[in-house]
Structure 1
Amino acid sequence: MTKYLVSIIGNQTLPNILPIKEFDNQIHKYIFISTSKVQTELSWIKNLCNIEENQCINLPVDENDISDIVSKLEGISEQFNNDDLFLVNLTGGNKIMSLGVFQFFSQSSFKIKMFYLNMGSNVLRQVYPAIDASLRDEPLLYRINVADFLGSYGATITNSYGIFKMTKPREYTTVFFENEWSKEPIIRKIREEKYNIIFDRIDAVYRRELREFLSKINFSLTLEDRITKDEILYLTGGWWEEYCFHFIKEKLDIQEPFIAKGLMNDKTNNELDIAFVKDNVLHVLECKTTILNKDDFEDYVYKLAAIKDNKNGFGITVKAYLVTNLFKMTNNQIDATFKKRAEAFNVKLIDKSFLQSESFSL
């Protein structure tokens, strides 16, 4: 007996990838029903799931013609045996493609099981043959990690060497946050100097002030005569990103490789401050220490909206968050114009108080 997994390919690849990963070594052959428009997406699926061409039957069809779909399936049916088993994933493609595939297999004499994956539910629902309601749903046990989730959209992580690297230990970052050292006036000077802080080339007074500050906060330098780029980034805002990373990781109990920091990818050309996958849903956090300016706020929201784009980003199922230590406030509430703009793009705003509240959840 040969076990086949039939997949209908569309613009969204995850509904195909998750069942392939779920059934893994159980499948002997893959039947991919697709159109010329989604060959790139099909290549992403095969690459991510390590499927060789000799394992595949590639079936190009007319996405708007049920008879063409049925005819194409009939054309390859001669190579099947009566005892073969077909697991048919009806989730991908458009409705006509799903109807055509359903029509062929429901009228065939093969052993079949057709199912649908409702994205976000992690449940495979059997839709044919009819089965008792108490038995038709099977849990999807496979959980995809961050790198593979991005890979399902054709993205490659371009800085994989640094995505789990922290400038300082969690304990130090917690102390930095609790003591509000980021509010010290010298932090502004460090930010203005950018990457040019070399102790023997700056004003003596500033040099002494800087050394005293770093000593006060027990901030040890990697190099004696300068602050590295990573250390400058930490002092001028990176500490907040690291604090949020540790907080999310521990609060939600998410471990590598399901959570990463500072991800650069070649699809959106944007850095993802924090990205994690929980129950096969990608969550992206943009972390900023302070957001008071409307233009800056909108830039951050637009960036997150682009990440949620179906074509150029990672799909509308992405959960996007803008996380800051301090938003612009009006009457002790996040400014109404900020809230309205974020709601329009389905971006959730999180401030320091919510992050640390008893009811915190994502």
Structure 2
Amino acid sequence: MKRMHVSLVSDHTIPNILAIEEFEPDELLLVSTKKMEDKGKAGHILECLADRGLDYHNRHHILTVAEDSLLDCHRKLESWVEGRKASEFIVNLTGGNKIMSIAAYAFFKDYGSRMIYIPIPRNEYIMPFPKGGAQKPVMLSQRLSVAEYLKAYGLTTLNTRHLEGMAKEARERRELSHLIVARYEKLKALLEKLGEVLRPHRGDREFVLKETFSGATNEAKELMRRMNFSLKGVEAEKCLTKSEIQFLTGGWLEEYCFNEVFAYRGKGVDDVVIGIQIKNQKGTDNEFDVMFTKDNALYTVECKSLEQQEDKGTEALYKVAALQKDFGLRVGSFLVSTSPYILKNGVVRPSIAARAEHLNTEVVAPHEVVNFRQHLTDKLKLN
């Protein structure tokens, strides 16, 4: 007997993917609408499944129904089920709209089908029908990576090949980035000067730095020594790679945050990447400093370092807003900043705080950056 899995397609594709992977049916029926197909939602589900080793490209059928018509849903389901009535049906009622859910329930209950429902955002399903089905929630063990999560919503990762290399460099520089955060006030003048000199060269493959650093603190000298600068009195020289230039012009904060999240990989955090570049279906691309998944939910960390202008303080929030629009749901986010321009009278500016709250974003102020890990554990309930 073939196992048929029926999914109702909506903007939220993750519950469909989790259920299909849980039951691994022989064939799929994706009940969709013109609106969802214009967005390519069924295709996003199939592509994500294929990436996870379940290729249904030749084992699926897409049924496009009128979203507000019970009669249309029933007629098209009746046509599809011909020749398949002896199959076992598992129906995921999570997606679609209310009309589609009612239609699917009313139609398939006559076949003794198992009906499941996944309460978003919990990673479990309940079985409301048949009555003898699972009464208690059944846990779902599948966890999506960042790239898989993005693909499930139709977003393309542009720099997949470089992600592991960037993560490796960040891990190798963990002690350096932690040193900068721990001694930031003593290193601030050095970082500001390096920023002025190096920022025009962020796109260069390498750059020979020759500068005078009079009055450099012991902490500044220690950082330069650790980065293998040649120090002669107040003179410093080094041929910097592109990666090192980016590190010294703000990348250190991104790498610090990445490593704080990475410390929980496998301990609550499922996947974490740094410097990911993504493109939506409209062709708009964006880069995110740190992105990670936990329990099939997506989180971002945007970092603002040094003396950036006030209007730059909200740039990250606009990126979060754009991402949430792509997903149609609230992505959990952090804005981590060492810039004084996000503050007014020692607290986060009301305009930034209000927008951050609206976007489910926690602002980590300059004096709290050193405690970012605690903010992570509190917000995400990590051990």
TM-score range, shorter chain: 0.7 to 0.9
Q: Could you tell me how far apart the structure 1 residues matched to 2:266 and 2:183 are?
A: 26
Could you tell me which of 335, 345, 357 is aligned with 2:359? Answer: 345
In structure 2, the CA distance between the partners of 1:357 and 1:141, relative to structure 1 (3 Å rule), is: closer
Give the 3-state SS of the residue equivalent to 1:68 in structure 2.
helix
Residue type of the alignment partner of 1:104:
F
In structure 2, the CA distance between the partners of 1:120 and 1:175, relative to structure 1 (3 Å rule), is: same
In structure 2, the CA distance between the partners of 1:291 and 1:279, relative to structure 1 (3 Å rule), is: farther
Q: Could you tell me how far apart the structure 1 residues matched to 2:33 and 2:329 are?
A: 22
In the alignment, structure 1 residue 185 sits paired with structure 2 residue 201: no
Distance apart, 1:283 and its partner CA: 0.6
Give the 3-state SS of the residue equivalent to 2:227 in structure 1.
coil
Q: Could you tell me how far apart the structure 1 residues matched to 2:293 and 2:264 are?
A: 14
In structure 2, the CA distance between the partners of 1:294 and 1:254, relative to structure 1 (3 Å rule), is: farther
Q: Could you tell me how far apart the structure 2 residues matched to 1:255 and 1:139 are?
A: 15
In the alignment, structure 1 residue 90 sits paired with structure 2 residue 105: no
Which deviations, in whole Å up to 9, do the C-alpha atoms of 1:48-75 show, x marking residues without a partner?
Answer: 2123343112222111110111111111
Deviates more, 1:154-163 or 1:240-249: 154-163
- What RMSD in Å do the two structures reach over aligned CA positions? 2.9
Give the 3-state SS of the residue equivalent to 2:253 in structure 1.
helix
In the alignment, structure 1 residue 242 sits paired with structure 2 residue 240: no
Partner of 1:296: 312
Deviates more, 1:318-327 or 1:110-119: 318-327
Q: In the alignment, is the contact (CA less than 8 A) between 2:31 and 2:65 conserved in 1?
A: yes
In structure 2, the CA distance between the partners of 1:316 and 1:291, relative to structure 1 (3 Å rule), is: farther
In structure 2, the CA distance between the partners of 1:290 and 1:150, relative to structure 1 (3 Å rule), is: same
Deviates more, 1:1-10 or 1:347-356: 347-356
Distance apart, 1:289 and its partner CA: 2.4
Partner of 1:334: 348
Distance apart, 1:251 and its partner CA: 4.4
Partner of 2:328: 315
Partner of 1:126: 127
In structure 2, the CA distance between the partners of 1:37 and 1:252, relative to structure 1 (3 Å rule), is: same
In structure 2, the CA distance between the partners of 1:66 and 1:103, relative to structure 1 (3 Å rule), is: same
Q: Which runs of 5+ in 2 are unaligned?
A: 230-236
In structure 2, the CA distance between the partners of 1:85 and 1:250, relative to structure 1 (3 Å rule), is: same
In structure 2, the CA distance between the partners of 1:89 and 1:63, relative to structure 1 (3 Å rule), is: same
Q: Which runs of 5+ in 1 are unaligned?
A: none
Distance apart, 1:125 and its partner CA: 1.5
Q: Could you tell me how far apart the structure 2 residues matched to 1:43 and 1:357 are?
A: 39
Distance apart, 1:269 and its partner CA: 1.1
Q: In the alignment, is the contact (CA less than 8 A) between 1:70 and 1:100 conserved in 2?
A: yes
Q: Could you tell me how far apart the structure 2 residues matched to 1:101 and 1:136 are?
A: 22
Q: Could you tell me how far apart the structure 1 residues matched to 2:337 and 2:265 are?
A: 19
Distance apart, 1:22 and its partner CA: 2.1
Residue type of the alignment partner of 1:355:
F
Distance apart, 1:301 and its partner CA: 1.2
Q: In the alignment, is the contact (CA less than 8 A) between 1:3 and 1:29 conserved in 2?
A: yes
Give the 3-state SS of the residue equivalent to 2:226 in structure 1.
coil
In structure 2, the CA distance between the partners of 1:204 and 1:135, relative to structure 1 (3 Å rule), is: closer
Partner of 1:138: 138
Partner of 1:220: 228
Distance apart, 1:187 and its partner CA: 2.5
In structure 2, the CA distance between the partners of 1:32 and 1:174, relative to structure 1 (3 Å rule), is: same
Q: Could you tell me how far apart the structure 2 residues matched to 1:350 and 1:252 are?
A: 21
In the alignment, structure 1 residue 76 sits paired with structure 2 residue 80: yes
Give the 3-state SS of the residue equivalent to 1:49 in structure 2.
helix
In structure 2, the CA distance between the partners of 1:129 and 1:41, relative to structure 1 (3 Å rule), is: same
Which deviations, in whole Å up to 9, do the C-alpha atoms of 1:192-251 show, x marking residues without a partner?
Answer: 23217843xx777479x9xx9587442137xx9631221111112111111111112214
Residue type of the alignment partner of 1:11:
D
Partner of 2:234: none
TM-score by length of 1: 0.85
Q: In the alignment, is the contact (CA less than 8 A) between 1:281 and 1:317 conserved in 2?
A: no
In structure 2, the CA distance between the partners of 1:253 and 1:217, relative to structure 1 (3 Å rule), is: farther
Q: Could you tell me how far apart the structure 2 residues matched to 1:203 and 1:148 are?
A: 44
Residue type of the alignment partner of 1:300:
A
Give the 3-state SS of the residue equivalent to 1:135 in structure 2.
coil
Q: In the alignment, is the contact (CA less than 8 A) between 1:30 and 1:55 conserved in 2?
A: yes
TM-score by length of 2: 0.81
Deviates more, 1:224-233 or 1:40-49: 224-233
Q: In the alignment, is the contact (CA less than 8 A) between 1:182 and 1:236 conserved in 2?
A: no
Partner of 1:360: 378
Partner of 1:259: 272
Residue type of the alignment partner of 1:286:
E
In structure 2, the CA distance between the partners of 1:182 and 1:261, relative to structure 1 (3 Å rule), is: farther
Which deviations, in whole Å up to 9, do the C-alpha atoms of 1:113-141 show, x marking residues without a partner?
Answer: 11111111111111212248x82421111
In structure 2, the CA distance between the partners of 1:156 and 1:220, relative to structure 1 (3 Å rule), is: farther
